[in-house]
Structure formats: C-alpha cells, structure tokens
Structure 1
Amino acid sequence: MAVRDGVVAWLGSDQVGRSQFGSAQVIDLQGAFVSPAFVDSHIHLTSTGLLLTGLDLTAATSKRHCLTLVAEHVAAHPGRPIWAHGWDDTAWARDEAPSTAELDAVAGAVPAYLARVDVHSAVASTALRDLVPGLAAVAGYESQRPLSADAHHLVRGEARRLLTTGQRADARIAALDALAAAGIVAAHECAGPDIGGIDDWQELRATEHGVDVIGYWGEAVSSAAQARALLETTGARGLAGDLFVDGALGSHTAWLCEPYADAPGSTGNCYLDPDGIADHLFACTEAGVTAGFHVIGDAAVRAVVDALARLVERFGSRAVARCGHRLEHLEMVTAEQAAILGQCGVTASMQPNFDALWGGSNGMYARRLGSGRAALLNPLSLLASAGVPMAFGSDAPVTGIDPWAIVRAASHHQTQGSAISARAAFAAATRGAWRAGGVQDGIMGTLVPGAPASYAVWDTGETEVASPADTVQRWSTDPRSRVPALPRLEVGDPLPHCRQTVHRGVVLHG
C-alpha cells in the first residue's frame, strides 16, 4: 500500500509497488497485517476516562470485594469525593448490591457514587444523597438499595458536579488515547442532559485530539424549529444517541411487555412515552435532522417502531431514510419490526459484547427474562437479513473498547442462529459505523485508492509463522467486499494487538 498526502494512492503486489514508488519510504511490517481502522458507534468518553483514571469496580467478585476496593480508594485519596463504576451484582454469588449503610461504613462523610455496570442505577452514600434536596420524593428513590430513574439522574448530576475540571479533562484524554491504542480513529459520543450535561459535551468538543468525535445529543423536541435550534446550540450531529425510552435489563429498568422473571411485579421503566417518541421523530424528520433513541426492552422497541411506521406513512420511506435515524442497543426486536426498520433505513447501533457478557443459558438475560425471552436478544442475523444497516460499538464504560472482541462476539453469538459472519461484523465496526455517523462517501472505512489513509497495524500474537497467510482465517477475500483477510477470532484465541494507528495519514498511536 502506498500513501501520499494522507490518502491511499495505490495497492498491489510488492514487486510492482517497489518499481512504481522507488523513492518512497518503505516500512516492512514483518508479518503484521493492516486493516481499515475501527469506529466505535456508541461511547461515553468522559465516563470511560473516569473508569481508566479512577476507581474501577469491574473486577469486583463479590459485594465484600467491591466494598474493599472502595475502602482502599478512600485510604489512598482521603477526603476526595468518589466516582466509581462497574460493579455487577449478577456476576456475584449472592446477586446482592451494597446497601447505603454498607457504603457509608467505608466511605464515611465522603460523597460516594458507585455506578452499576450498565449505568442505569447506582449506590450512593448518605453524604452524596444529602446534597440533593427532596431526593426521597423522586421516582427511583430507595433508602438502602441502589437509586434508579430520576433519583439516579439527580445524584449522578451532583456527583459529576463534584469532579474538578482537571479530572474531567484528564479523563477525556485518557479515553481518546485508549481508543487510538485500540486501533479506533473515530467515536460516536452519546451525550445528553442526563449523561454528562451540556458543560461536559462542550468541553469535549473543545478537546484537541486526533480521534474524531461525532456527537449526538439525547434530548427530545416537539417541533422542527426546536430541533434546528437545539442542533445549532449543541453542535451535535443529531438528536439521537441515549435519548432514553427505557433503561437496562440488569437494573430492571428496561421497559417490558411482560414482567421480569426475577421481579414479577415489575415491567421496568418508561422514560419517554409513545406520544413523546412520535413528536421527536416527526419534528426531526421535518427538520431533516437525525433522530434516535436508547431502546432495550420489547415495549420500548414496540413504541418506537410503531411511531416509525406512522412516520413513513406521512413522509415516505425515502425521506425518512435520508435523515439517518438510528436506534441504540435494540436488544429485543421481532422479525416484523426488523422488516419495518429495514424498509425505512434506520440504523441499529448495537453492542455485541452485551451478549458475550450476559447472554447464554445461565447469563444475566436468562435470569432477568427466563431462557425463552433471553434467547431472542440481540438478533444480529435477523436484522442483517431484514436489510437493517448495523453499526457496532462498545457503550464504554459499560463494556471494553477492544474492537476485535466486538467482532468476535458478533460472530460467536451465544444463541444459535443469531450470529453474523466475522466479515459482516468487521464491516459494521468500520464502514457501517462511518455511515451511521453521516459519512456516506462509499470509501471511508476501506483501503482503496482515493480513500483516506485511516488504518491500523496489528500483531496477531503468533511469533512464528511460515507466511502471513498462516495468521489468517480463510473467509472470503473477494475484493468487492473490501474487507481484508481477518485474523483467527475463535473463543480462547489471543486477540490482535494494535502496533500502530494512523488516521488520514497522521500517526495517532505507536
């Protein structure tokens, strides 16, 4: 491959290249391979950076271990407010979250915020709760159990306010550096009033870094004028991303048609009703603005798809498709709903790692929903067969940002018949994610002459190979697919390690 002025100038055989570009600087990769760089279609950069620079609870193996990690952090940072993320009670033997009293016992008078792994509920210390007037009267309040819904959003906002400007800035750079080190050159930031707030979003927009940030603002509107004004105010790519219709299955806040198997009295939470969903879609479509929602539960998906069907009746499928509307997560979708989404060109921005973490017959999904409903979650092959455009991301800090893990999860779905090919998964994490972010030139996310030189160089972890072909699995390498021969991604195989990341000819990592 020859690169000139940040653009791929030529691809071909070694002998021809050396004769055609005799004066070029030659870089011998010594068995490593080159692929188009990845794009993360759903991330929260400041929160991801706070996980990298602060208190990471993802390794906690029990409630006791979680509290021990908090106590050690308090001892190392006396008097400082605590922002922590990642505990997952469904991975613990007793499936029991820390109580307020138990957190107080280790945090003392320090305000402490401990977000659950899905960030739809959190344990908060009394010192933090006391900073929010009237909290006990707000939906989602619990005196000893984790907070959810509006109570969680209020406490999260207060915990965010306690972070210093320096902490937030360091976190953003840490997250962007981590993306570059993972072979990722662009990310779709899903911002909003209840995520990081407008200050965090504007600070992120002002951050200088080589990784592209394509931002979405999750706030509902009811008129085209409102949509245009909000887009101008925020500078976002669209009014989409985490505009919450519901919550998450792990926190029992995803909106379901039938009750949870392990909480028979609950069908979860509805944060945006069907009228609000329709108003937002109609307003954005009239304004020509990308709209979208966070949807996980089947009741939430049904409400959105019903509104989309009405939208198509009014504007026509082509006008709807031109707006590039998108749905985040989309875990519980039927064949009929997938057909409607395919007809109106709505992108499914999905996280295959969810299935890797919580799928399977004994996973969190099965406990929350029962094995029958759980087996229908994240139906990647169904969506692909219905022609629904897909883009893949991490939802970091919810899951890790390793893009090859995402490709492997999509091609090794724990439900038989729901996986897609590794080639299709790779395309969803590269070209598909660029398209979802509004880049529709047909070449971004590929390595062809005329395309931006945005690529990553990978080591496979195999030190002794007879030839480069020995390090790849023989999926189709038809040039029309514009997907390179891919590395082995079997469960248990080491994932490729990023040696270098280049974006438009500029080295971001390595």
Structure 2
Amino acid sequence: MWMIIGANGYTLDPRANSFAAEVEGQSKSRDFEALVIHHGRVVAIGEAADLRLQFGAKVSRIIDVQGATVIPGLIDSHLHVAALGEQAAELDLSGTSSARELLLRVREFANHVPDDGWILGRGWDDNRFTAKGLPTLKELDEASGTKPMLLRRVCHHAYLANSVAFLRAGLSLDAKDPADGYYGRDEHGKLNGQVFENASRPLLLAVPKKTTSDWKNAVRIGMETALKSGLTGVHTDDVRSLGSFEAVWHTYASLIHESGVRLRVHELVDFSRMDETIGFLKAMPKEVTRDAWISRGAVKLFSDGAMGSRTAWLSEPYSDLPGWLGTPIYERDELFERVRIAHEQGLAAAVHAIGDAAVELTLMAMAAAPSVNQRDRLIHAELIRPDLISRMVDLGDSLAVDVQPRFTVSDFPWLADRVGEHRVKYACAWQKLKNAGVHIAGGSDAPIEPVSPLMGIHAAHTRRGPHSEGEGYGPEERLSALDSVVLFTKGAAFAAGQEDRFGTIAQGREADLTILSKDIVNPSCPDDILESEVLYTIVGGEIAYAFPGGFKEESTG
C-alpha cells in the first residue's frame, strides 16, 4: 500500500463529494490532496492528514508531489502504436517546406541506406510547402538513385514512389488504376510518382517484410513513447502492420507481462482479419482473453480517404477542384454489408470517415445493422452537416465519435480553400457535437499527428498552433480546458465501453493516473497545457514512467 500526497487532484467524477460544480466549463478547485493505492487500485481519496490517520501504519511508501496536478490516466482513443515506433527508423519528412527540401532530405538519407534496402519515409505535407508542387518522377529518381523509395504523406492516404519501387511492385508506367485508388500521371498519361489510397497496395507488398523481432521493437518504442507522453492507455490499430491479431496480441502480452512495459492496450480488429481474430480468441483460455491490460476492440473499416490528398468523400465538390467529390472506399451496399457482418459476429464497427458523404453513409450503415452489445465508433468525422448531428444523436449511447483535435492545427490553414467558407464552420465541430449530447473521444492519430495528449488537449481548447496567438480557427467550436481533458479521459474510456473502469479517479477503480507539473484542468493560461511536464505516468498502481529526477519519497519508518 502506498500514498500520494501534496496533489492538486481532479477526479473528473461528479459523484465525488469534493467535486466542484462546473462554471462555464471550468472546475473551481481541486478535488483531493491525497490518495492511497493498494493492489493496483485506488482505495481512498481525500486530504492527506485524514488519510495518514486512517492508513498511516499500513502505508509502505509516500510520494509528495508538491502541488503537481493529478488527473485520471490520459487515454488516446485513436492511434497506431506500431507505426509510431516504426517511424523512428524511417526518414522523417515532417516540417518539409518544399519539394526541393524533400529531395535534399531523400538524397542525404539514401546515403545511409544499405544497397539492398529501401528508402522509406513519411510525414510530407504539400499543403505546407511554401512553393507549391510535388517532385516529378525524374526528380524522385535522381534523388534516390538505384534504391527503391516509398514516402507516405502525413495523412497516410497518398505516397511518392520512384521508378525502381514501381518496378519492384510489378507496375509499369502505364499501369491501370485499381477500383479503390489511383495513380498520379504526367501529361502523357504515364505514372508520375504520386500514388493515392489502395493503389499503394502493390508497393507496400513489395517492401521487405519486417521480422517478428523488428515489429516487437517498433511496438516497444511506440509504447514507451506513449507512456512518456503521459498516456496510461491507447486504442490502437496495429493488425495491418503485424499481419494478424494473434501476432499483435502475443507481442503486447510479451512486452507487458514479460518485459514490464505497463501500458493498457485496446486493439481494433481489421475487417480482413475478423474471422481469424474470432477464432484466435475463442481458442484462448478465458483467463487469458480477460487480460486487464489488453482488450479486443471494434472492427476497423474505411469509408473514405483524407482532406489533404482530396480523397475524403464529400457530398458536394471540392471548392479548389471543381467536379471532384473524393474517393469512397466502398459502394453503399458493401459498407452496409460489412457493418452488418461485424454486428452479427457480436462486434462493433469503427469506421474511418472524414468527409460528410462518408460520415452520412457510415451512420446509415450503423443504424441499419442489427443491434450489438458494444459501441460503434465514427473515426474522425472531420466535416459534417447539421443533419448528420441529428443522425448521431439518434444513435445515442451506441455511438462514440473519435475526434483528433490536432487536425485544426494541421488542416485549418488551408481547409477553407478546400471546402469553402460555407462548409468550414462544420469542420471539427466539437462544441456542436457536445451541445447535442454526442459522445466524443480524443485521439492523436499518431504518427500522423504528434502523440502528445497535451498537444491534443491544447488544440481542443484553443484551435490554434502551439504558442501562437489569436482566437484560433472556428473559435465558437473551442472546448473548455476541462472538456478538452475529458476527451482524453472519460470520453476515450466511454468509446471503448470501459467507462466503468477508466476515465475518472474513484475508490475501487484501477489506479491509472497522469501527474503533471501544471494545472491543465484549470490553467492560468492556455499555454500552461503545452508547457506542463509529465512527471509520472502511473498504470495499475505502478510507476510506468517517471520524469528524470522525480520526487523524493517520504520515509514511513
């Protein structure tokens, strides 16, 4: 049994006696000063003097956090842990300001790639290029030399490839477009190095497969990065990376239970691996599948692409590309069928939908499917309409919407040009959703956006970039600091159907806590959220991450 004292603590639990009423979305004061942890659970919350009297002789260690803020453990409702770790070994193209700079980075990185290796990179965003335009295929070939190259756009819905990569993938420069994607072409109709959506499949299959050890290392890096960021839990999508749900489960089980990386994992199920997943879990002993650290999530599907690559599916054409609506991944009947099949197997659906047409079709498919004792998830919902909010409300507690606050920082500098002023007011419309009673959860979509939940909370509260000024993009949709924290605590727990275990601090619940140097629930200024250091990440009553130096423990003997 051990104790934390000196806390500026918030339970986020309205049932707590000390919980202050909300005023304009902000809580008035802290809820507790101390708490006691035993066997991984919170056994008491209150004032330090009272808890010392009640538990003093039983407590073996005390940590005085000296006024630091203690909140329920932060949870990321949508990210890709394996890809986050994988990114560490690839060319980082985030922040690239032009095609010229991209080519220079490729040329330099290529010098360190073995002769038989691939040049793999990610993170480029042409919407942020100061000089518009992408490299030509000839320029990509010159920069990469004789090594095959594949570079993911920041959204993961578009790529740049060189001629060697096309050759390795069995694609000629006259290759036809598949039904669920397309290739960029030059004035002669030849491939120009740009690849969109599932047209990337042959290229991705041509990249040498990582070993089990490679993936385990990538997952470990991703998990440790999450813990350092203050996350106690993640809702992740790794099956397409590791190849099977079984491989994902065993990788996490090994890292958590054998290597001691203490992070709670809620794993989505790729639709193509649904039957395999069901068979694997049925064959496993019940005590294994009821693991408190790893849980099976909803079935992952995609209904469209992304705004940045203009593959998000809109109900009216793009304002900056007349006549173009984007790319639906499925025809209406196919998406309906896939959601129905998932529900009939007893699984909820988690559907990526960014454009309003994709959101509409997804909500229709969810409403039409037989009821299931789990919660469907609408992932992103970046552009919506008033009638779509009504559809979400109709689904009630059976739906959670996973939003990514950092999209306001990445997309809004150019989004009005893409969708028009008349539609941009319904982009990332979180306050409208909250006011309507729609359940929303907060995620990063890392590595597409930074994994830091503090950056996500700041973006939800300000709708502007770090340390920038002004009222932000669509200021009427800003959330209070408290509501922004709730996205990554109670909101995320609700999305996974785990609101009875996580998201608040309460007696008897798992001791999942994030301890921060500044008050992000009731900050003196918004940038306090960004400037806060993660001091401790505590998961299941264990210190999973501690800021170097930390706090001294008080002697109990």
Counterpart of 1:417 in 2: which secondary structure?
A: helix
- What is the CA-CA distance between 1:175 and the residue it aligns to? 0.8
Which residue does the alignment assign to 2:408?
A: 355
AA aligned opposite 1:156? L
Per mean C-alpha deviation after superposition, the further-off stretch among 412-421 and 3-12 is 412-421
Correspondence 1:340 to 2:374: no
Give, in whole Å, the separation in 1 of the partners of 2:96 and 2:363: 38
Which residue does the alignment assign to 1:406?
A: 456
Which residue does the alignment assign to 1:178?
A: 225
Give, in whole Å, the separation in 2 of the partners of 1:3 and 1:239: 32
Correspondence 1:437 to 2:437: no
Cα contact 2:161–2:193 (8 A) shared by 1: no
- What is the CA-CA distance between 1:197 and the residue it aligns to? 3.6
Give, in whole Å, the separation in 2 of the partners of 1:95 and 1:38: 38
Tell me which of 451, 454, 465 is aligned to 2:512: 454
- What is the CA-CA distance between 1:216 and the residue it aligns to? 1.0
Correspondence 1:14 to 2:48: yes
Cα contact 1:44–1:191 (8 A) shared by 2: yes
Cα contact 2:455–2:530 (8 A) shared by 1: no
Structure 1 residues 155, 130: CA separation in 2 closer, same or farther (over 3 Å shift)?
A: same
Give, in whole Å, the separation in 2 of the partners of 1:368 and 1:17: 57
Give, in whole Å, the separation in 2 of the partners of 1:204 and 1:364: 40
Count of paired positions: 469
Taking the TM superposition and a 5 Å limit, the aligned residue runs for 1:40-439 are 40-79=76-115, 80-134=117-171, 136-139=175-178, 140-142=182-184, 143-159=191-207, 161-191=208-238, 193=240, 197-198=243-244, 201=248, 204-209=251-256, 210-219=262-271, 230-233=277-280, 237-241=296-300, 243-311=301-369, 315=370, 319=371, 322-344=373-395, 345-359=398-412, 363-413=413-463, 414-439=473-498
- What is the CA-CA distance between 1:486 and the residue it aligns to? 3.6
Cα contact 1:52–1:175 (8 A) shared by 2: no
TM-score (norm 2): 0.79
Give, in whole Å, the separation in 2 of the partners of 1:364 and 1:212: 36
- What is the CA-CA distance between 1:99 and the residue it aligns to? 2.8
Structure 1 residues 108, 115: CA separation in 2 closer, same or farther (over 3 Å shift)?
A: same
- What is the CA-CA distance between 1:270 and the residue it aligns to? 1.0
Structure 1 residues 197, 146: CA separation in 2 closer, same or farther (over 3 Å shift)?
A: farther
Per mean C-alpha deviation after superposition, the further-off stretch among 126-135 and 30-39 is 126-135
> Which is richer in strand?
2
Once the two structures are superposed, what CA deviation does each residue of 1:43-69 show, in whole Å capped at 9, x if it has no partner? 112211122333211121222112222
Cα contact 1:240–1:326 (8 A) shared by 2: no
- What is the CA-CA distance between 1:454 and the residue it aligns to? 0.7
Cα contact 1:138–1:150 (8 A) shared by 2: no
Structure 1 residues 288, 492: CA separation in 2 closer, same or farther (over 3 Å shift)?
A: same
AA aligned opposite 2:408? D
Counterpart of 1:328 in 2: which secondary structure?
A: strand
Cα contact 1:41–1:391 (8 A) shared by 2: yes
Per mean C-alpha deviation after superposition, the further-off stretch among 204-213 and 182-191 is 204-213
Structure 1: runs of 5+ lacking an equivalent: 222-226, 461-471, 474-484
- What is the CA-CA distance between 1:130 and the residue it aligns to? 1.1
- What is the CA-CA distance between 1:305 and the residue it aligns to? 2.1
Which residue does the alignment assign to 1:479?
A: none
- What is the CA-CA distance between 1:137 and the residue it aligns to? 2.2
Give, in whole Å, the separation in 2 of the partners of 1:167 and 1:504: 28
Per mean C-alpha deviation after superposition, the further-off stretch among 37-46 and 164-173 is 164-173
Which residue does the alignment assign to 2:5?
A: none
- What is the CA-CA distance between 1:492 and the residue it aligns to? 7.9
AA aligned opposite 1:14? A
Per mean C-alpha deviation after superposition, the further-off stretch among 429-438 and 447-456 is 429-438
Tell me which of 500, 503, 506 is aligned to 2:539: 503
Once the two structures are superposed, what CA deviation does each residue of 1:148-182 show, in whole Å capped at 9, x if it has no partner? 122113322333x3445444332211111000001
- What is the CA-CA distance between 1:502 and the residue it aligns to? 0.9
AA aligned opposite 1:158? A
Cα contact 1:301–1:333 (8 A) shared by 2: yes
Structure 1 residues 504, 192: CA separation in 2 closer, same or farther (over 3 Å shift)?
A: closer
Percent pairwise identity: 27
Counterpart of 1:405 in 2: which secondary structure?
A: helix
Cα contact 2:308–2:411 (8 A) shared by 1: no
Correspondence 1:36 to 2:72: yes
- What is the CA-CA distance between 1:205 and the residue it aligns to? 4.3
Counterpart of 2:192 in 1: which secondary structure?
A: coil
- What is the CA-CA distance between 1:229 and the residue it aligns to? 6.0
- What is the CA-CA distance between 1:354 and the residue it aligns to? 0.4
Taking the TM superposition and a 5 Å limit, the aligned residue runs for 1:476-487 are 485-487=521-523
Counterpart of 1:451 in 2: which secondary structure?
A: coil
- What is the CA-CA distance between 1:7 and the residue it aligns to? 0.9
Cα contact 2:98–2:130 (8 A) shared by 1: yes
Structure 1 residues 204, 299: CA separation in 2 closer, same or farther (over 3 Å shift)?
A: farther
Give, in whole Å, the separation in 1 of the partners of 2:298 and 2:136: 36
CA RMSD of aligned residues (A): 2.4
TM-score (norm 1): 0.86
